[in-house]
Chain A
Amino acid sequence: MNRIVVGPFNRVEGDLELRLDVEDDRVVAARVTTPLYRGFEQILIGRPIGDALIVAPRICGICSVSQSLAAAAALASFSGTVPAANGALATALAHASENLADHLSHFYLFFMPDFARAQYAGESWYGAIAERFTAIRGRASGEFLPVRSRLLEVMGLVAGKWPHSLAFRAGGTTRALDLGAKTRLRAILTDVRDFAERVLFAAPLETVLAWEGVEPLDAHATDGRGDFARFLRLADTLGLSGLGRGPGTVMSYGAHPGPNGEGPLFAAGLYETGSRTLLPLEPARITEDPSHSWLAGEAGPPARAETQPDIDRAGAYSWARAPRYAGRTVEVGAVARQLVAGHPVIRALVARDGGTSVTSRVAARLLEVAAVLRAMETWVDRLAPGEPFCTGGGEPTDGSGIGLVEAARGGLGHWMTVRGGRITRYQIIAPTTWNFSPTDGAGVPGPLERSLEGLRLAGLGARAAAVQHVVRSFDPCMVCTAH
């Protein structure tokens, strides 16, 4: 057996170390290390309750709105604050903009450049793909970045700036949008839709949104002219549907306002990919286990956990804890959201593949772009200038609450306890904490660890593109993971 250590592992929003045990060019065991600890949970303790809105977003500059919203949701959960209708819509627009910017940045800047790796230089498709997707120099990133900036103009209007805005409160948002701002939001979304329809899908959004089952996806892979079709063809050629199998259970906390202001756009719950069963979400079944973490303490529910470094802990190899749902590993992210929400293409694709894979993770992200973009247009329609954007209401001085939101990369939870107006406990489980979890006390590896088992390395060891594809298919955010 050969043991290789992989790192620095880049284009993962932070740093990542893998340890792969390899036999006959095949990974037999993998260990995933989150190598950074800053201690945000410790920093939050003892602060006035409102300071969570300043501290929490700074956990992550990539999903800072999601972090703000989890903190605001935790506050609202025990203060009983109901946000102003306009504020909820403005919040949703900013949140969705962040999620879409993250999805598209992942696709164009982090994931696709791996197909330009020298390993593929002999392939017939290589020249055109490398010309389009090579990191930094590829033509696609030049087309995408101005659109990313345009999309993030939603933040300028709603939130003042991004990342790290203080506009998001339990009661809504701090800037009331007038008719001019509402009109500018419409114009921004028109430009982003244009990019999606011209470059990403090369098809009307409504066509993409009408797809059911895998047949339209297969047809798009054959006939499509956009970047999504380019990915689907590569996925077919390279067998990416067979790479990076997930743990069999996915989870979503539910996301975004529904089309008529009722219910979430994407439902909450769990979904078992093998039995195709939907289960209700019961947050009380979530636990965290630090058995293999450089943190003190025992396994238990996050609401009762405390965070204290223990860098000499025996058996520890990561700063991340191992989150479990009813003792199980679960996968989170766009593919989880869309499976739980019942997306007809993603459900069918995952059923055909026999579980989540590199292909379905990327496809779910891009199909979600289409769905969210259209939903955003309806939210703008419903904005009512002149009506309130933020409700008042005092901050509670005592209580406990949970804020569960969906960041681009999956479920993000904040567990907060307050006494006398000060934070006494604060625990965060980020999306990549679930996906890149270390092994738990029962010896069960985390989802990525399990996904890497069995992977063939084409004689290239750590440089094998397959490793790169599997890791990045999860769209990890390592800065969030241990926070």
Chain B
Amino acid sequence: MTAVSDVTAKRFGVVWLQAGACGGCTMAFLDHGRRGVFAELESFGIDLLWHPSLSEATGDEVLAILEDIAEGRVALDALVVEGTILTAPNGTGRFQLLAGTGTSLLDWIRRLAPKARHVVAVGSCAAYGGLPVASPDPGEGVGLQFSGGDRGGALGAAHRGAAGLPVVNVAGCAPHPGWIVETLIALATGDLRSTDLDVLGRPKFFADHLAHHGCSRNEFYEFKASAETASDRGCLMEHLGCKATQAVGDCNQRTWNGSGSCTDAGYACIACTSPEFERARGFLQTPKVAGIPVGLPLDMPKAWFMALAALSKSATPKRVRLNAVKDHVVVPPGRIRRAGTEGGEG
């Protein structure tokens, strides 16, 4: 037949597995798209061959699908994994057996991944280990191709999908719905190449930005006008634990659930897109040495930061200083009034 029908007939088959997951990545995935995520996937010919929360197939029907893939009878375009891959105890993976099989998720993933054109880790758990590997790491968890920030993980550093890419890491806890679906669509259309991933396997379209970029508290950041308690409007970096200047993500260039973001909602970025974010202790306070935050902006020399901070603090407008420690605007923007003239913005 014609090339056109070949193109329209081309489908992109996805199997989604939940390893040591909370299900939150699937919840985020379901939030995508004005017409609903199913309609958006259909627009790009993406088939969910099986998804544990969404597909009809259950029990032996699922096992038939997985066996067909493992034995090469059915092609798999993408294996998507959500959740930490548990290896406990002692590398057996028995802390998570796939129901009805007596076989660990660890072994299922190792069996299916070599058959997939692409392997995608959705969420920081599947990418790097995530929250479940926080001390004492009860499940001896790993990511698909990383263990924390170290290459390796369940599939090993050398793994490449049949199409040539390493594991694609849609990091985040939970990731933005757009990061997940845009990654799948870009794989289906063949647009996502290895050069589109950063050194930690994250798509650059979100990982080439800092969570800080576009933060609605930016003016407070510039003047080092800091929030002191929860719900204050000021910058969250100096006291309240915010790592947005160190964490990747276009978090503040998108909207989450229609309008929000972590920092916009008044709480710290905890760097959930970074390997080992879970190792922090005391997330809600900024760690300091001699009163100076330990974690300064990612690529800024400390002396410069200190000098700029001192300068900007000294130049902070009264409006910014006062609003920083209130939960609503107490001084609106306006020209500095001179005696005998009208105030206001004009």
Contact = CB atoms under 8 A, between A and B. Distances in A.
A190 to B, nearest CB: 14
A148 B30 contact: yes
Contacts of A320: none
Contacts of B328: 176, 178, 385-386
A60 interface: yes
Nearest to B55: A135
A95 to B, nearest CB: 15
A62 B86 contact: no
Contact of A145 (B38, B97, B262): B38
A460 to B, nearest CB: 11
Contacts of B285: 50
Contacts of A159: 257, 260, 265
B281 A156 contact: no
Contacts, number: 289
A55 B256 contact: no
B101 A7 contact: yes
Contacts of B263: 160
A61 B259 contact: no
Contacts of B62: 8, 10
A167 B267 contact: yes
B77 to A, nearest CB: 17
A38 B56 contact: no
Interface residues of B, number: 83
A211 interface: no
B222 interface: no
Interface residues of A, number: 93
B39 to A, nearest CB: 6
Main secondary structure of the interface of B (DSSP, over half): loop
Given A43-B134, A162-B257, A175 B30 contact: no
Interface stretch (A217-225, A283-291, A296-304, A388-396): A388-396
B98 A15 contact: yes
A275 to B, nearest CB: 37
Contact of A135 (B56, B231, B267): B56
A153 B95 contact: no
Interface string B255-271: 11111111111111010
Interface string A163-175: 1111101011111
B312 interface: no
B301 interface: no
A35 B99 contact: yes
A134 interface: yes
Given A43-B131, A134-B56, A175 B266 contact: yes
B135 interface: yes
A326 interface: no
B337 interface: no
Contacts of A110: 53
A371 interface: no
B23 interface: yes
B258 A36 contact: no
Contacts of A238: none
A148 B177 CA distance: 14
Contacts of B145: none
B264 A390 contact: no
Contacts of B261: 160-161
A51 B285 CA distance: 10
Interface stretch (A136-144, A327-335, A347-355): A136-144
B327 interface: yes
A156 B255 contact: yes
B61 to A, nearest CB: 8
A77 to B, nearest CB: 19
Contacts of B54: 11, 109, 135-136
A5 interface: yes
Nearest to B61: A463
Contacts of A158: 265
B22 A64 contact: yes
B16 to A, nearest CB: 11
Interface of A: 5-11, 13-17, 33, 35-40, 42-43, 46-48, 50-51, 53-55, 58-62, 64, 87, 105, 109-110, 113-114, 116-117, 134-137, 141-142, 144-146, 148-150, 152-167, 169, 171-176, 178, 184, 309, 311, 385-386, 388-390, 392, 462-463, 468, 477, 479
Interface of B: 18, 20-28, 30-39, 48, 51-63, 84, 86, 88-89, 94-101, 131-132, 134-136, 138-139, 141, 173-174, 229-231, 233, 255-268, 270, 272, 281-285, 327-328
Which are the 5 A-B pairs with shortest beta-carbon distances?
A: A61-B24, A7-B99, A39-B138, A160-B265, A7-B100
5 contacts: A8-B59, A15-B99, A38-B84, A38-B141, A160-B267
Given A9-B100, A35-B96, 7 more contacts: A16-B99, A37-B95, A55-B131, A109-B30, A135-B56, A145-B38, A149-B31
